[in-house]
């Protein structure tokens, strides 16, 4: 009789021990994941200028806003140094850039790096505010270990991550029925990233209307108020040169990319909290799945980690001091997109660039004929092309071949060659097709 009682008691004891150790393992791994994410943020904070696919755009705009406000007492709507003066000062990120411009005047580029990391932390805070279930470190670890969120951080997608954070604050206020404050967060989300912010706000609005029909009127009034105030901003950003010179199919492709990959950054906190009862006991296998996806994207070089182990060393200083440098000319800079600190350096020396930092403005492409390239140079009003040595290694296009061929034909000349062989400056005024329009170039 005693033996029959001992076996169930022993089994129950081992079950309790197993569950206890499973819980300890879960929280240990979760906290380790959060510490790892914090270490990643610390690595970024250690660099005044962090090199990433989208970083130069943020540094350049924040510098320009700060310079104009604190040194010229004005805030123009266009950047004189980008796209030959036609680029917008605020194509997005209105509040994040404007706020970061204040400490930039005191601590320089490091303010932008801090703003990027601050946006990531704000994203975590806002997600927890919107979905209190994420206070569980296991669930929060699943959200922050999302490969697409980490990619957004190391790629320096500052406007997108801030827009997501603003959206979650909007969702929290909508759930609390604080309609006026919700409208303010919605306005911030859309002006920070028009596509991602608008899609997230609209999607959640539809969700709330379907789930709580009695809230349709107040939330409709709230979002309608926001839409009214967004009309001038919508007209403003539609005037950006990148839109006018990009085919509609390419713009749609970019939006599809954002929806497919970055969309998980918006959806993940909502899904994880909704499935919290399932994910808590299954945390370890769920985290393994997240880690495997991240490793797969790392192995396939789909995650740009260039800035984590490299520092910014722009190398145009000697050229800027040389007699060949002419401030009256417009420059096209060909450099890898994860180290555009060269273009940023030129911009800070008030060089007029014939491009923005957006891919749609860069025109990294295969030039089908010399005539097409000459037409492009004329349409962009480009005087000098700065071709960096590493550009053809990053983008296997044929622009370097076109320039070399024109040089052999005597139609362009190399006016400056970096002593260390890092770049060459091509004067293309002799070959460009003056007066050309983009419609003439079949781009």
CA angle 280, 281, 286 (to 5 degrees): 75
Q: In this structure, how many other beta carbons lie within 10 angstroms of the beta carbon of residue 24?
A: 10
Residue 153 pLDDT class (50, 70, 90 cuts)? very high
- Measuring CA to CA, how many Å separate 226 from each of 219, 229, 232, 234? 11, 5, 11, 12
| pLDDT surpasses 60 at 224 | yes
| pLDDT surpasses 70 at 169 | yes
| pLDDT surpasses 80 at 250 | no
The DSSP bridge pattern shows strands 78-79 and 87-88 to be antiparallel
| pLDDT surpasses 50 at 161 | yes
Give the pLDDT confidence of 86-126 residue by residue, as tens digits. Answer: 999 999 999 999 999 999 999 999 999 999 999 999 999 99
78 vs 298, which has greater pLDDT? 78
What pLDDT score was predicted for residue 353?
A: 97
What pLDDT score was predicted for residue 57?
A: 96
| pLDDT surpasses 50 at 340 | yes
Positive or negative, the Cα torsion across 27, 33, 39, 42?
negative
Q: Residue 414's beta-bridge partner residues?
A: 426
Question: Which of 238-242, 287-291, 429-433 has the least mean pLDDT?
Answer: 238-242
71 vs 4, which has greater pLDDT? 71
- Measuring CA to CA, how many Å separate 151 from each of 9, 53, 214, 283, 405? 50, 10, 39, 22, 38
The residues, any chain, with a CB within 8 Å of residue 309's CB and separated by 6 or more, are none
Share of the chain above pLDDT 90, in %: 82
| pLDDT surpasses 80 at 2 | no
What pLDDT score was predicted for residue 29?
A: 96
What pLDDT score was predicted for residue 245?
A: 65
Report the interhelical angle of 263-274 vs 158-175 (nearest 10°).
40
The residues, any chain, with a CB within 8 Å of residue 374's CB and separated by 6 or more, are 431, 432, 433, 436
* Residue 59 exposed, middle or buried by CB count within 10 Å (0-12, 13-18, 19+): buried
Query: In the predicted model, what is the mean pLDDT of the chain?
Result: 92
What pLDDT score was predicted for residue 389?
A: 95
Residue 305 pLDDT class (50, 70, 90 cuts)? confident
Question: Which of 156-160, 168-172, 200-204, 250-254 has the least mean pLDDT?
Answer: 250-254
Least Cα distance to 24 among 137, 135, 128 occurs for: 137
What pLDDT score was predicted for residue 356?
A: 94
**In the predicted model, what is the mean pLDDT of residues 335-363?**
93
**In the predicted model, what is the mean pLDDT of residues 74-92?**
95
Residue 411 pLDDT class (50, 70, 90 cuts)? very high
pTM greater than 0.75 = yes
SS (H, E, C) the chain: CHHHHHHHHHHHHHHHHHHHHHHHHHHHHHHHHHHHHHHHHHHHHCCCCCCCCCHHHHHHHHHHHHHHHHHHCCCCCEECCCHHHCEECCCCCHHHHHHHHHHHHHHCCHHHHHHHHHHHHHHHHHHHHHCHHHHCHHHHHHHHCCHHHHHHHHCCCHHHHHHHHHHHHHHHHHHCCCHHHHHHHHHHHHHHCHHHHHHHHHHHHHHHHHHCHHHHHHHHHHHHHHHHHHHHHHHHHHCCHHHHCCCHHHHHHHHHHHHHHHHHHHHHHHHHHHCHHHHCCCHHHHHHHHHHHHHHHHHCCCCCCHHHCCCCCCCCHHHHHCCCCCCCCEEEEECCCCCCHHHHHHHHCCCEECCCCCHHHHCCCCCCCHHHHHHHHHHCCCCEEEEECCHHHHCCCCHHHHHHHHHHCCCCEEEEECCCCCEEEEECCCCCCCCCCHHHHCC
Residue 1 pLDDT class (50, 70, 90 cuts)? very low
CA pair distance 163, 175, nearest whole angstrom? 18
């Amino acid at each position: 009789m005693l033996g029959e009682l001992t076996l169930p008691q022993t089994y129950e004891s081992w079950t309790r021990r197993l569950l206890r150790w499973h819980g300890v393992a879960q929280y240990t791994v979760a906290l380790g994941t959060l510490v790892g994410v914090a270490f990643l943020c610390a690595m970024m904070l250690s660099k005044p200028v962090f090199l990433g696919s989208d970083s130069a755009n943020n540094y350049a705009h924040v510098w320009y806003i700060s310079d104009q406000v604190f040194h010229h007492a004005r805030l123009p709507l266009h950047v004189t140094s980008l796209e030959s003066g036609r680029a917008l000062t605020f194509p997005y990120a209105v509040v994040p850039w404007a706020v970061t411009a204040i400490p930039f005047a005191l601590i320089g580029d490091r303010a932008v790096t801090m703003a990027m990391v601050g946006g990531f932390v704000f994203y975590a805070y806002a997600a927890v505010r919107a979905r209190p279930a994420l206070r569980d470190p296991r669930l929060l670890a699943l959200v922050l270990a999302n490969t697409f969120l980490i990619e957004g951080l190391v790629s320096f997608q500052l406007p997108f991550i801030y827009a997501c954070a603003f959206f979650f604050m909007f969702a929290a206020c909508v759930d609390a029925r604080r309609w006026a404050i919700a409208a303010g967060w919605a306005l911030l989300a859309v002006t920070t990233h028009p596509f991602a912010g608008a899609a997230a706000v609209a999607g959640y609005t539809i969700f709330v209307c379907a789930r709580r029909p009695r809230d349709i009127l107040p939330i409709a009034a709230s979002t309608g108020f926001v839409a009214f105030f967004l009309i001038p901003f919508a007209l403003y950003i539609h005037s950006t040169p990148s839109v006018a010179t990009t085919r509609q199919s390419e713009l749609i492709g970019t939006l599809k990319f954002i929806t497919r990959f970055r969309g998980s950054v918006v959806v993940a906190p909502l899904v994880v909290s909704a499935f919290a009862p399932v994910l808590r006991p299954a945390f370890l296998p769920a985290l393994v799945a997240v880690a495997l996806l991240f490793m797969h994207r790392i192995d396939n070089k789909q995650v740009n980690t260039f800035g984590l182990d490299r520092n910014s060393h722009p190398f145009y200083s000697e050229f800027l001091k040389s007699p060949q440098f002419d401030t009256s000319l417009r420059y096209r800079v060909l450099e890898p997109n994860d180290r555009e600190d060269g273009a940023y350096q030129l911009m800070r020396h008030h060089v007029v660039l014939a491009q923005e930092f957006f891919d749609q403005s860069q025109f990294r492409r295969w030039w089908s004929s010399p005539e097409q390239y000459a037409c492009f140079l004329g349409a962009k009003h480009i005087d000098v092309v700065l071709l960096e040595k590493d550009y053809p290694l990053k983008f296997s296009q044929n622009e370097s071949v076109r320039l070399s061929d024109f040089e052999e034909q005597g139609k362009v000349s190399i006016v400056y060659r970096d002593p260390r062989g890092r770049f060459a400056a091509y004067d293309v005024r002799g070959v460009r097709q003056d007066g050309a329009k983009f419609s003439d170039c079949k781009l």
